[in-house]
Amino acid sequence: MKLCIPTKGSGGMNAEVNLHFGRAPTFTVVDTKTNDVKVMDNTSRHMGGKGYPLEIMRRDGVEIMPWSGLGWGQSLC
């Protein structure tokens, strides 16, 4: 299973969590089966690119994304 965490840099599991999902500079993806850790730059339209963060994560096979600060409402999930 792949888990994605919005992060503030390339430090992987040691990077600070970014509290606004869409504006996170990076996403840290952890594969719980293999323990592989991958850091991806946020290339979504929020950061001047194309697509939305969730679309990018779906293409990479991410299944779980804990989040905070998603959209207008501030929620913690």
Q: CATH classification of 2-59, choosing from 3.40.1190.10, 3.40.50.300, 3.30.420.130, 2.60.120.1440?
A: 3.30.420.130
Domain spans in the chain, listed from the N-terminal domain onward:
2-59
23-57 burial: b if 16+ Cβ within 10 Å, else e: ebebbbbbeeeeeeeebbebebeeeeeeeebbebb
C-alpha 19 chain-centroid distance: 11
Q: pLDDT per residue over 3-35, tens digit each?
A: 999 999 999 999 999 988 888 899 999 999 999
pLDDT at position 13 is 94
Rounded to two decimals, the pTM is: 0.80
| Distance separating alpha carbons of residues 6 and 68, to the nearest angstrom | 9
Name residue 42's amino acid. N
| Distance separating alpha carbons of residues 4 and 22, to the nearest angstrom | 12
pLDDT confidence of 75, banded at 50, 70, 90?
very low
